[in-house]
Structure 1
Amino acid sequence: MSNHPFFEIHKDIPREGPGNNESTRKAFRLLNGLPAHPNILDVGCGPGMQTKELATLTEGTITALDRHEPFLRELEKWTAEHGLTQQIKTVQGDMFDMPFPQESMDLIWSEGAIYIIGFERGLREWRKLLAPNGYLVVSELTWLTQERPDEIEAFWMENYPAIKQAEANEGIIEEAGYHLLHHFTLPEAGWWEYYRPLQERVALLRERYDGQVEMQQALDETQREIDLYKKYGAYYGYAFYIMQRQNDK
């Protein structure tokens, strides 16, 4: 798996999707009523940029779950260097079948990863892991306007056809048994915190894999995604959805 073009392109970059520490802090501070030492699950943690930030915001324990072992080893190295091995634990696992007891988490966090299982399915399946009145915070690709240019509409219909506007996601949230507390859109700076190192990585790999068709095609696709955001970033973004489990479902 680690030799797949995706993982080679995404190796050695600080984030695996758009985000920034400022937005992680903002979302966390919109939570009221967390226990003093909450059990937190970070689903699809990647190399753990947001995991590290959460560790500065809470005295709780954080379980960081991802399928890709090199990301977890990277995070483990950092936690050891910073004396946080008691606070942050890593689990190699699959978000489709997470190995945790029901109602064991006070907070489930997932930045830029719930799309893998699907927004609606993720909300429904992860809810059973939340303690009564527990919280779920996710960031999800979201249309920001009702009308979009054909080029960007076609791109996301091919790459993530489940993308919706915030109003539609709010309905899904309520139907899945949560109360939406807040939502906000990731600022443009959060996209470039992801795309700038990714673009540098693309340029590096262009030379390293010169003549290798599969990798060059993957690099082309990655660069196209970046170029489309430059052109059409006003039409879509990542929205943070901060929600609380309702206990009447």
Structure 2
Amino acid sequence: MERSRLEQRLRQLDEDIAQKQQARGLLAALLGEGSLRAWHQQTNQLAPDAHLDWLRQQGFNEKQALHLKWLSKDMNAHEQYMADFMTVFQNLEHWGPGTDDDSLKALLSLPTEPQSIIDIGCGKGFSTRLLGQHTNAQIVAVDNEQSALDELGERLAEQQLGSRVTLSCASMTELPFSASSFDCVWSEGSAYIMGVEQALTQWRPLLTENGCMVLSDLVWLTDNPSPEALAFWQQEYPDMQRVPKRLAQMRQAGFKVIDHFTLSEQAWLNYYQPLKARVAQLKSSLPDSAAIADIEREITIYERYLSEFAYHMFVLQKGA
């Protein structure tokens, strides 16, 4: 037999062995004998929609699947991971970077004052309350974390805004609203969970003719990020893009770009300073927590490499 044919057969055997080893590793992890983290990361990068569908088929509800997809990435450790994660975040005011000044800048750039707004992924409702204070709109605030909505409801009552705000515990991927229900879709720091392109496509029909969409997203500020920052965000947010790429996707999805700008440094301080203090407070009581370790790693990346990435606000209008 010719040497080239033997070499070809050897390569084929090596590929077959590698595939069987991967299959065995996945089966072992599903049986609780190992970690699914690497598999989740790879699948989420190659086929994010299929990844989410697969998680649902395994019996996770939509809320659990989204948390697993973006946070723990390890199904076998998911319950403890999420318990620790919520222990950290439950008492924090900010669940992501943002300031009233940045949100107001976006609101004031809208061509007309909205009369009906849906705030998707509202969390504890900083943007919801700001929209309530600075518009006369009827607002629907949507999140899949009921505890956050409960706290938002209390704040709205204190500020006498409850009559204009409806709270909805629902999935951002399966919103229970008909087409053309709103003249503004608002989503700060949450569209990435389902994917920005998918959010643009799925949320666009909710808008009335010439309706507007405001969303913020994490973006690269450089074409050559540091290896440590690149490795971290490729794991945590593989679809992170430069601003020109996002703008092109938005236009492709049928939107006109009205304005866009980078969020201020204060937006990050509002989020990371309390988060860092909360982690330090809890670390001794949760010494082996994978969630704590992941959050600490994210804080380190923020402190070392903030000049290489940023949150960016996009103000869009639905085209014809």
* Common topology (TM > 0.5): yes
Equivalent residue, structure 1, for 2:106: 27
CA distance in 2, matches of 1:12, 1:183: 31
1:91 and 2:164 equivalent? no
More helix, by proportion: 2
Kindly indicate whether the alpha-carbon contact (under 8 Å) linking 1:15 and 1:48 is maintained by their aligned counterparts in 2: no
Contact 2:109 2:315 (C-alpha < 8 Å) held by counterparts: yes
SS of equivalent residue, structure 1 residue 59: coil
Whether the 8 Å CA contact 1:34–1:106 is kept in 2: the answer is no
Residue 12 (structure 1) aligned with residue 91 (structure 2): yes
C-alpha contact 2:113 2:135 (8 A) present in aligned 1: no
Shift in Å, 1:177:
0.6
**Counterpart selection for 1:162 from 220, 236, 239:** 239
> 5+ unaligned residues in a row in structure 1: which ranges?
none
Partners in 2 of 1:53 and 1:23 — Cα distance? 11
Structure 2 counterparts to residues 36-55 of structure 1, below 5 A? 38-55=115-132
Distance 2:95 2:117 in 1: 20
Q: Is the 8 A contact 2:263 2:310 kept in 1?
A: yes
- CA distance in 1 between counterparts of 2:314 and 2:100 reads 16
Sequence identity of aligned pairs in percent?
A: 34
- SS at 1:23 equivalent: helix
Whether 1:173 aligns to 2:250 is: yes
Query: Is the 1:27–1:242 Cα contact (8 Å) retained in structure 2?
Result: yes
2:204 aligned with 1:127, yes or no? yes
Does 2:264 align with 1:187? Answer: yes
Aligned residues: CA RMSD: 1.3
User: What whole-Å deviation, never above 9, does each CA across 1:195-233 have from its counterpart, x for those lacking one?
Assistant: 1111111112113334xx2xx221121111111111100
Rg: which structure is higher? 2
- Report deviation, 1:6: 2.0
- Name the CA distance, whole Å, in 1 between partners of 2:158 and 2:125: 14
2:311 maps to what in 1?
A: 238
Counterpart-to-counterpart distance in 2, 1:179 and 1:82: 34
What are the ranges of 5 or more consecutive residues in structure 2 without an aligned counterpart? 1-63, 65-78
Q: 1:225 aligns with which of 283, 298, 303?
A: 298
Mapped contact 2:219–2:312 kept (Cα < 8 A): yes
Supply the distance in 1 between the matched residues of 2:292 and 2:156 (Cα, whole angstroms).
Answer: 31
Look up the equivalent residue of 1:79 and give its one-letter code.
Answer: L
Distance between the aligned counterparts of 1:130 and 1:240, measured in 2?
19
Q: How many residues align?
A: 241
Q: Relative CO higher for 1 or 2, CA cutoff 8 Å, sep ≥ 6?
A: 1
2: CA distance between counterparts of 1:92 and 1:85? 16
